[in-house]
Amino acid sequence: MSYKLMLKGIRVSRGLTQKNMANLVNMSESAYVRKENEKSHFTVNEAMRVARVLDVKLETIFLVN
């Protein structure tokens, strides 16, 4: 499974839109959408901010088998 499915599932379960997430992790909406859809990659710091905002461990999102 790719991380985009896990990330989207957690984000939606928290009632957040991609625009909300972009604002919360301090990036443009278009950049966030590209990264969530795996068209671009999160930096380590961005991934850590995403996990913190969603209140999950980094590996819960990004180390999916």
The pLDDT profile of the chain, 65 residues, written as one tens digit per residue, is 589 999 999 999 999 999 999 999 999 999 999 999 999 999 999 999 999 999 999 999 988 66
Q: Report the pLDDT value the prediction gives residue 2, as an integer from 0 to 100.
A: 83
CATH of the domain at 32: 1.10.260.40
24 Cβ neighbours under 8 A, 6+ residues apart = 16, 49, 53
Q: Report the pLDDT value the prediction gives residue 1, as an integer from 0 to 100.
A: 59
Q: If you count them, how many residues does the chain have?
A: 65
Structural domain boundaries, residue 21: 3-62
Counting the structural domains of the chain, the total is: 1
What's the pTM?
0.90
Q: What are the distances in angstroms from CA 57 to CA 12, 15, 48?
A: 17, 18, 9
Q: Report the pLDDT value the prediction gives residue 44, as an integer from 0 to 100.
A: 96
